[in-house]
C-alpha cells in the first residue's frame, strides 16, 4: 500500500487535477466535512460492494477516512480486489483539518 500526504493531494487539487478520491467514512462523517470523494463506507468495501468505483481498478485511487486507519484497511482490501494503484491519505481528515481547516 502506498501513502500520499495531505499536502500532495491539496496541491494537486489546487492545480485543477481531477483525482479519484474515495471516502470510506460513514455518511454522517462525510456530511459533516469532506473533500469531494465518492462515499463508499468501509463496511461496503469489506463486503465487496464496490460498484461505485469498480471502473477505477486501473487508475490511481486516493482513499481517506477520519484518521487514516480505516482507509488503510480499505486500501489493503481494494488491492486484493484488483485495484492496482491505491493510496492511503496519511492522517485522514483530521490531518487535513489540522493543516488546512475545512
Tens-digit pLDDT profile for residues 46-73: 999 999 999 999 999 999 999 999 999 9
Cell of 14: 489546487
Predicted local confidence at residue 102, as pLDDT = 87
pLDDT at 17: 97
pLDDT of 44 > 90? The answer is yes
Q: Would you name the residues annotated as active-site residues? A: 65
- Which domain range does residue 26 map to? 2-100
> In the structure grid, which three cell numbers stand for residue 35, read together?
473533500
pLDDT confidence of 95, banded at 50, 70, 90? very high
User: What pLDDT was estimated at residue 2?
Assistant: 97
Nearest partner of 11 among 32, 34, 35, 28, judged by Cα: 35
Q: Are strands 21-23 and 38-39 parallel, antiparallel or unpaired?
A: parallel
Count Cβ atoms within 10 A of the Cβ of residue 1 and give its class: 0-12 exposed, 13-18 middle, 19 or more buried.
middle
Which pLDDT does position 1 carry in this prediction?
A: 85
Q: Give pLDDT tens digits for 15-38.
A: 999 999 999 999 999 999 999 999
Cα distance between residue 74 and residue 50, in whole Å: 11
Task: Please tell me the total count of domains within the chain.
Answer: 1
Phi, psi of 22 (to 5 degrees): -125, 120
| Per-residue pLDDT at 54 | 96
Task: Give the Å distances, CA to CA, from 47 to 11, 40, 74.
Answer: 33, 11, 11
Mean per-residue pLDDT, 79-86: 97
Find the CATH number of the domain harbouring 47.
Answer: 3.40.250.10
Amino acid at each position: 500500500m502506498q501513502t500520499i500526504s495531505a499536502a500532495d493531494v491539496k496541491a494537486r487539487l489546487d492545480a485543477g487535477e481531477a483525482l479519484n478520491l474515495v471516502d470510506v467514512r460513514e455518511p454522517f462523517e462525510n456530511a459533516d466535512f469532506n473533500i469531494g470523494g465518492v462515499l463508499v463506507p468501509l463496511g461496503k468495501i469489506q463486503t465487496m460492494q464496490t460498484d461505485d468505483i469498480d471502473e477505477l481498478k486501473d487508475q490511481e485511487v486516493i482513499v481517506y477516512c477520519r484518521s487514516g486507519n480505516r482507509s488503510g484497511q480499505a486500501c489493503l482490501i481494494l488491492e486484493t480486489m484488483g485495484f492496482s494503484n491505491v493510496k492511503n491519505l496519511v492522517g485522514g481528515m483530521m490531518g487535513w483539518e489540522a493543516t488546512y481547516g475545512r
